[in-house]
């Protein structure tokens, strides 16, 4: 099954696009040749993340996450935690969340 997240053309070359996702939000961004999508949820207490200076930074207490692999870089989120990446597929000029395939 699939659910369209956004059009590929809408994803910026740098930074991220925040797209609605089943009543929540996901960040979508380009990482080299790949397009990635992760829940806009900090792994500390679930705060929203800003895309800032090449990393995701939580608005609430400042936890910082790597944009390539989602790993926590610093701050109060648990050591070794990673952002929640979505499984995706590009089809017909759109990025789709896919599941159950
Ligand atoms: S909720 Fe993100 S650092 Fe606390």
> Domain holding 21: CATH number?
2.102.10.10
Q: Residue 76's domain spans which residues?
A: 2-98
> What average pLDDT does the segment 62-66 reach?
98
| CB 42 near ligand 1, within 6 Å | yes
> What average pLDDT does the segment 32-45 reach?
97
pLDDT tens digits, 80-96: 999 999 999 999 999 99
Mutate to test the pocket of ligand 1, among 50, 76, 83 (most ligand atoms within 8 A of CB): 76
pLDDT at residue 101, as a whole number = 83
Rounded distance from Cα 77 to ligand 1 centre (Å): 6
User: Quick check: 30 and 41 in contact, CB under 8 A?
Assistant: no
Angle at 39 between CA 60 and CA 91, to 5 degrees: 150
Domain count, the chain: 1
pLDDT surpasses 90 at 79: yes
């Amino acid at each position: 099954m699939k659910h369209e997240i956004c059009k590929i053309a809408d994803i910026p070359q740098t930074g991220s696009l925040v797209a609605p996702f089943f009543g929540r939000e996901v960040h979508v961004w380009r990482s080299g040749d790949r397009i990635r999508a992760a829940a806009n949820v900090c792994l500390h207490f679930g705060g929203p993340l800003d895309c800032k200076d090449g990393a995701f930074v939580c608005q609430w207490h400042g936890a910082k996450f790597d944009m390539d692999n989602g790993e926590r870089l610093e701050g109060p989120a648990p050591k070794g935690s990673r952002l929640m990446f979505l499984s995706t597929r590009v089809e017909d000029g759109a990025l789709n969340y896919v599941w159950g395939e």
